[in-house]
Structure 1
Amino acid sequence: MINVKSSQDIEYMRMAGRLVAECHELLAEAIKPGITTLELDKMAEDYFKKNGAVPTFLGYQGFPNSICASINGEVVHGIPNHRRLEEGDIIAIDLGATLNGFVGDAARTHGVGNISETAKKLIDVTRESFFKGIAFARQGYRLSDVSHAIQCYVEANGFSVVRDYVGHGIGREMHEDPPIPNFGKPGHGPRLCQGMCLAIEPMVNVGNYDVEVLDNDWTVVTTDGSLSAHYENTIVVTGESEPEILTML
């Protein structure tokens, strides 16, 4: 069942979303060659707790950290560790905060120092595909209209959309109905209406879309070893006008 949020619910989600956006900016400034993903994780955890929020990911279904840190060919759910980032890496940071009982969730992919032209294009296309998708996140459109727009943009730029992992509804829980694929034919799925809160999150590979899970039971990687990028925001459908992005400043 899709939970339509009240105006008070949405206000609480704005507050959680703002913390998420601020934390992403904090980490973006810290991402440089030599820093470890565990150091980034500690920064995020401290920031949320200092501001009265709970790191949503910490302990979620047993996940051991406050952020997901996925490097190069890691698609999602990378576990922070003592690995130091190197010049030319790309890193996707996914994080969430729970405040007043509601969740904000967003992901960004960053280059570490100087990166390849392919990596730059991948990051840019992944981000832009999100905005192509949410152009259809308006009252009256179908959910798959969002999915289709994302897929078309990504594939037109020569990349592939991950099939095995999708976006989701969001509110009091991080993962609520409906699941939101980043691919598919238009005109299908639930009709969007005002007050729906959605986490739209394209995951895009340079190579094919096949992925697998490592032995740690969390980290998802591309099977062909190609680079992958991730971009996500929590949004609310406002009606026939553009959706409101809750996790951007």
Structure 2
Amino acid sequence: MSLIKNRKQIEAMHRAAKILAACHQEIGKGIRPGVTTLEIDRFVEDYLSRHGATAEQKGYMGYPYATCTSVNDVICHGMPGKHPLKEGDLLTVDFVVNKDGWLADSAWSYGVGRIPPSTRRLMRTALLSLLAGIRQAKPGNRIGHISHAIQTTAENGGYSVVRQFIGHGIGQRIHEPPSVPHSGPVESGKILREGMVITIEPILTAGSSEFKLDRDGWTARTADGCLSAQYEHTVAILRNGPLVLTKQ
């Protein structure tokens, strides 16, 4: 596996990414109180099938679903279920699309119905943190430039960054080098090179960054029960700067 993708390989990943981004837009239209996360999961799997793609994470290390659906205090890897979403819930939907052997990965947070201003502010800061990191994803910078920009934006907003879950390289496998932490000093990490494709996926919490794992072995939730929000894009490092493949 090569850290560097050529133009045709990036174009192939972009095709997967466009399907993923369009699917997220459709998800957003259907989220409302009463909908279950299992219904969302089934919608995603059907949507991908109709567009000639598959959900890469289904079966990955035994994971049984097409999506991770994380509600309120769940940080990530929440399993879809039959419990209906409620007014004011905060939902993150994360999935990986495989189109002709090439992958794209994106997570997005959604408010369910009317959400309180505090939840909206957490979501906005999480998105701003992602965008701050993306701006630093250019050749010659270190991964630490991304990490530091995310951490600074989050902490200036009064939020914590979950350090244990990080971004990564991606291509024909979900997880490839390099690792992309969402906190740390500017001088840390590998130097970014043209042709790298990475995920940037900060998770912010309204309280402590500590987490606990449910008995299912997948669901990670905040230790203090505070809300969590996450946004993620797959980003190609090009000569003139970052190209967000999963842009909606």
Which interval holds the TM-score relative to the shorter structure?
over 0.9
Partner of 1:117: 117
The runs of 5 or more residues in structure 2 that have no matched partner are none
**Residue 65 of structure 2 aligns to which amino acid in structure 1?**
N
CA contact (8 A) 2:137 2:143 kept: yes
Tell me the SS of whatever aligns to 1:243: strand
What's the TM-score once normalised by structure 1's chain length?
Answer: 0.98
Mapped partners of 2:174, 2:207: distance in 1: 29
TM-superposed CA distance for 1:51, in Å, is 1.0
| Residue 2 (structure 1) shift | 5.7
Could you tell me how far apart the structure 2 residues matched to 1:173 and 1:231 are?
20
How far is the alpha carbon of 1:242 from its aligned partner? 2.9
Give the residue type in structure 1 aligned to 2:98: T
User: Are the aligned partners of 2:33 and 2:87 in contact in 1 as well (CA < 8 Å)?
Assistant: yes
Distance 1:248 1:56 in 2: 19
CA distance in 2 between counterparts of 1:50 and 1:40 reads 15
Structure 2 contact 139–241 (Cα < 8 Å) conserved: no
Q: Give the secondary structure class of the aligned counterpart of 1:226.
A: coil
TM-superposed deviation, 1:116: 1.1
Segments of 4+ in structure 1 off by > 2 A? none
> Size of the alignment, in residue pairs?
248
**2:47 aligns to what?**
47
> Which residue of the partner structure matches residue 151 of structure 2?
151
Q: Is the 8 A contact 1:211 1:222 kept in 2?
A: yes
Residue equivalent to 2:102? 102
Matched residue, 1:160:
160
Residue 241 of structure 2 corresponds to residue 242 of structure 1: yes
Alignment of 1:166-205 (within 5 A): 166-205=166-205
**1:199-222 Cα shifts (integer Å, max 9, x gaps):** 000100000100111100000000
TM-score when normalising by structure 2: 0.98
AA of the residue aligned to 1:21: A
1:2-17 matches, within 5 Å, as 3-17=3-17
Give the alignment's Cα RMSD to 1 decimal.
0.9
Percent identity between the aligned chains?
A: 38
- Partners of 2:23 and 2:170 in 1: CA distance: 19
Report the equivalent of 2:35. Answer: 35
* Paired position in structure 1 for 2:60: 60
Which residue of the partner structure matches residue 232 of structure 1?
232
